[in-house]
């Protein structure tokens, strides 16, 4: 996988959402270190102060209150970025990264509460779309790049992931349409499909909350197995958020990026599984769920 990137001397502006932690934080700091002027979306001003204190080039690091479910905050963030551009800086693009994953309790397609499905759609799908739509006029004017943090789960849908997978599949459908519309206008649209990156995204998961008498006997053991397999991620370099930051830098800098990049622990195996005919995927995953229950 190509991952070439360089330091930039003209300090182009890049906007990163969900920069308070995980991949967003790492990407914001990494891009800033490469010379980018970073507008870092956070939801608590304290997070912005802490982040800026870690920035290699703090004068080129601008925390912005940016909840992607909030129209007014998205518009205000775009206005702030327009202000930076009026100062003469070029616009490199956006990294739409903010996301949530709710795996607490029943995560089957039948049992996931509507409120949980709605939250994931609000942040992961509508939030991403709201944010990107707001910045597309700037991206068109600058022939910039839109990088979107999707998930490998959108390609290889594991069972008991109904809400998260659905929100990322929706995002990818929208992004594929966008790419085919806007590529002739000089805007590149890149999806990152990660799996198993070492962040706090699923640290609050509690598979044990799944009721014993739920109608899917494999659910609880499957989720338990899936979450405990994440324990070894912190020491695995493939699971470092930096892998994703490097892909973002590459996507921003290359003239012809791929439409999708994969990253993370087990990503190649999960990607390969998702490339099998659907019937074979079903068989393999049914067998896996059964094996975790026994
Ligand atoms: N970790 C993985 O293995 C993995 C795999 C595939 C895809 N992803 C995707 O990668 C992205 C980043 O996740 P992560 O793993 O780095 O987890 P993370 O550390 O939990 O980061 C999630 C970020 O999203 C922000 N956020 C949540 N709701 C938001 C909202 N309404 N508006 C704006 N920001 C919001 C959080 O901000 P607060 O601190 O304010 O809550 C946080 O900064 C997500 O889109 C996730 O789906 C992760």
Write out the chain's pLDDT in tens, 294 residues: 556 789 999 999 999 999 999 999 999 999 999 999 999 999 999 999 999 999 999 999 999 999 999 999 999 999 999 999 999 999 999 999 999 998 888 999 999 999 999 999 999 999 999 999 999 999 999 999 999 999 999 999 999 998 999 999 999 999 999 999 999 999 999 999 999 999 988 754 556 678 878 899 889 888 888 877 776 777 889 999 999 999 999 999 999 999 999 999 999 999 999 999 999 999 999 999 999 877
pLDDT of residue 39: 98
pLDDT of residue 2: 52
pLDDT of residue 117: 97
Q: What are the DSSP E strand ranges found in 20-118?
A: 37-42, 61-65, 91-96
Give the burial string for 279-292 (b: 16+ CB within 10 Å, else e). Answer: eebeeebeebbeee
User: How remote is the CA of residue 162 from the centroid of ligand 1, in Å?
Assistant: 18
CATH of range 13-293; options 3.30.200.20, 3.40.109.10, 3.40.50.720, 3.90.950.10: 3.40.50.720
User: How remote is the CA of residue 157 from the centroid of ligand 1, in Å?
Assistant: 19
Q: Which of 21, 49, 99 for mutating ligand 1's site (highest number of atoms within 8 Å of CB)? A: 99
pLDDT of residue 228: 78
Give the nearest ligand 1 atom to 123 CA: 31
pLDDT of residue 240: 95
pLDDT of residue 143: 98
pLDDT of residue 63: 98
Distance CA 207, CA 199 (A): 18
pLDDT of residue 104: 83
Active-site residue among 36, 164, 216, 261? Answer: 164
Where does ligand 1 bind, in terms of residues with CB under 6 Å?
Answer: 17-18, 20-24, 41, 43, 67-69, 97-101, 123, 127, 149, 151, 194-197, 199-201, 264
In the residue annotation, 164 being an active-site residue is answered as yes
Distance CA 7, CA 253 (A): 10
Q: Where are the domains of the chain?
A: 13-293
DSSP 200: S
pLDDT of residue 208: 64
């Amino acid at each position: 996988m190509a991952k070439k990137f360089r330091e930039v001397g003209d300090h182009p502006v890049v906007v990163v959402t969900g920069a308070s932690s995980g991949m967003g934080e790492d990407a914001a700091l990494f891009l800033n270190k490469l010379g980018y002027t970073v507008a870092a979306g956070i939801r608590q001003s304290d997070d912005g102060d802490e982040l800026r204190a870690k920035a290699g080039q703090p004068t080129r690091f601008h925390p912005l209150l940016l909840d992607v479910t909030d129209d007014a905050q998205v518009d205000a963030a775009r206005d702030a970025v327009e202000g930076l551009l009026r100062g003469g800086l070029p616009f490199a693009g956006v990294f739409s990264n903010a996301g949530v994953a709710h795996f607490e309790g029943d995560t089957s397609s039948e049992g996931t509460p509507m409120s949980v499905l709605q939250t994931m759609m609000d942040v992961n799908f509508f939030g991403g779309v709201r944010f990107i739509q707001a910045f597309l006029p700037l991206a068109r004017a600058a022939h910039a790049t839109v990088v979107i943090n999707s998930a490998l789960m959108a390609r290889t849908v594991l069972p008991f992931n109904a809400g998260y997978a659905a929100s990322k599949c929706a995002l990818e459908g929208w992004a594929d349409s966008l790419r085919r519309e806007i590529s002739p206008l000089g805007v590149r649209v890149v999806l990152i499909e990660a799996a198993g990156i070492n962040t706090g995204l699923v640290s609050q998961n509690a598979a044990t909350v799944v009721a014993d008498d739920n109608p899917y006997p494999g659910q609880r053991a499957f989720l338990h197995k899936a979450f405990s397999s994440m324990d070894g991620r912190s020491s695995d370099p493939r699971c470092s958020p930096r892998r994703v930051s490097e892909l973002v830098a590459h996507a921003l800098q290359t003239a012809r990026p791929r439409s999708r990049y994969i990253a993370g622990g087990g990503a190649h195996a999960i990607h390969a599984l998702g490339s099998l005919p659907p019937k074979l995927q079903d068989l393999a995953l049914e067998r896996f769920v059964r094996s975790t229950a026994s």
